[in-house]
Structures are given as structure tokens and as C-alpha cells.
Amino acid sequence: MAQVTLKGNPVQVNGQLPQAGSKAPAFSLVAGNLSDVSLKDFAGKRKVLNIFPSVDTPTCATSVRKFNAQANDLDNTVVLCISADLPFAQARFCGAEGLENVQNLSTLRGAEFIENYGVAIADGPLKGLTARAVVVLDENDTVLHSELVKEIAEEPNYEAALAALK
């Protein structure tokens, strides 16, 4: 169990984020068309998993925008924005913002992902959502970089995440 904060208040997070050098756990999440999407669907591509509580919060929205802006410069890489938002809300946000370089995935049927990736908020007002984290995977699903953001209301270290892909 890890501890992060939300506006300075302690929040427990269940599980452990995959660490650099480890194999990424398999997952199944929900795509915009309500189909199930797995890690295998991105085989052969490098992956940036941008994990956050909800796109309807300012910090989460900023992270999606920033990774969207960087995605075109990343060779053979897909940016997966993962949250508890329903696919309809994710699509509405990206459509309104004109964001086309990221792929949204919902934890709607992804309880296993939340536990296996160590991002399950266990208490506090966001209990049941995911903590803010970034996990970067190579083409073979080996973890290159991982960050569990210590303060949920703060942005991840974009530079460190993207540097892992160079």
C-alpha cells in the first residue's frame, strides 16, 4: 500500500505500481465504442499509460492535453489516457478539445487493472477512482518508467516519462 495526498490530506492507494524493468501486467479496459481493449491490442508499440481519476478535473484535463501535444513526436508510440470516466465523457472531452493523438480507455470494467497497476484509491473522497500515475512501456511491455504522483492535484513529470522513450 502506498500513500499519496489530495490537497495535502493523506490518501491510501492499494497495490504497487509496476517498476522499471518489470513486465507490465496484462489488462482489459473499455474503449470509446464500449469494446474491451487489452494490452495485447497494442503489441509492438511503445505505450504511455496516463492514469488519472477523472478528465473532468483541471489537472487531469491538463495531463491529457499535454500528452496529446507530445504524441505526434513519439515514434511507434501510443498514449493511453486511462480514467474511471465513461467512454462517452472521455469522447466528449477530447472532441470539444480537438484532441486526436491520445486514446482514452475507461476502467468501467477494469477493476483488475486498478488493482494490478497499484492505483486503487482506498479511502477519502476519491475512493474507488485511480490515483494519478504514469507508466511507460516498451514494445515488449517492459516497464521503462513509472511514477505514482505524490499529490493527486499535481501534474506528473512529463519530461521524465517522455525521456524514457528516447
Annotated catalytic residues are 60
Report the SS3 class of residue 10: strand
Contact between residue 30 and residue 105 where contact means Cβ atoms under 8 Å apart: yes
CA-nearest of 113, 162, 94, 158 to 15 is: 113
Burial (0-12, 13-18, 19+ Cβ within 10 Å), 7: exposed
Phi, psi of 140 (to 5 degrees): -105, 15
The residue with cell 474507488 is 128
Report the SS3 class of residue 155: coil
CA distance 52 to 100: 18
Contact between residue 77 and residue 46 where contact means Cβ atoms under 8 Å apart: yes
